[in-house]
């Protein structure tokens, strides 16, 4: 195998370490905060085979798209949050990676300062 085998092993090991670090950082890294507006909602229902149950089960992913000052972000949300929010709702958004942490809706404006629910 020699030097070429060692280099290939080192290369692929380094790639795996980078992938794992990115996954851990995405899940456990710092949250991002922004003032955002809901621009769209979508749900994706699909079937997934369960080895334990021995048959396909139906699952649904709920996705909400938020628009911030210079970008949009699609976040996975719970069914309860998905049903409680409407397009054009605005507020303070906290998210990490592609997952919503918190969204505090704006309920009105008084004297140029936002009031949150």
More confident residue, 116 or 22: 22
pLDDT digits (tens, 9 = 90+) for 19-76: 888 777 666 778 889 999 999 999 999 888 888 878 888 899 999 999 998 899 999 9
Please tell me the distance from the alpha carbon of residue 43 to that of residue 60, in angstroms, as a whole number. 7
Quote the pLDDT of residue 71. Answer: 92
Q: Which two structure tokens, joined as six digits, stand for 57?
A: 């089960």
DSSP output for 60-94 = EEEEEEEE-SS-EEEEEE-HHHHHH--TT-EEEEE
- How much is the mean pLDDT over the chain? 85
Q: How far is CA 104 from CA 38, 45, 69, 91, in A?
A: 12, 27, 17, 5
pLDDT at position 115 over 60: no
Q: Taking the domains of the chain in order of start, what are their residue ranges?
A: 1-30, 31-116
Reported CATH class of domain 31-116: mainly beta
CA angle 13-26-38, nearest 5°? 145
Mean pLDDT over 70-94 rounds to 93
pLDDT at position 103 over 60: yes
pLDDT digits (tens, 9 = 90+) for 47-63: 888 888 788 888 999 99
Yes or no: say if 48 and 78 are a contact pair by the CB < 8 Å rule: no
């Amino acid at each position: 195998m020699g030097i070429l085998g060692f280099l290939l092993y080192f290369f692929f090991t380094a790639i795996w370490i980078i992938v794992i670090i990115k996954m851990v950082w995405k899940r456990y890294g710092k949250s991002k905060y922004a003032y955002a507006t809901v621009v769209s909602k979508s749900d994706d229902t699909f079937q997934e085979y369960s080895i334990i149950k021995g048959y396909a089960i139906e699952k649904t992913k709920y996705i909400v798209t938020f628009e911030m000052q210079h970008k949009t972000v699609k976040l996975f949300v719970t069914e309860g949050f998905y049903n409680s929010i409407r397009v054009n709702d605005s507020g303070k958004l906290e998210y990490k990676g592609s997952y919503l942490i918190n969204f505090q809706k704006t309920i009105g404006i008084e004297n140029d300062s936002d009031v949150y629910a």
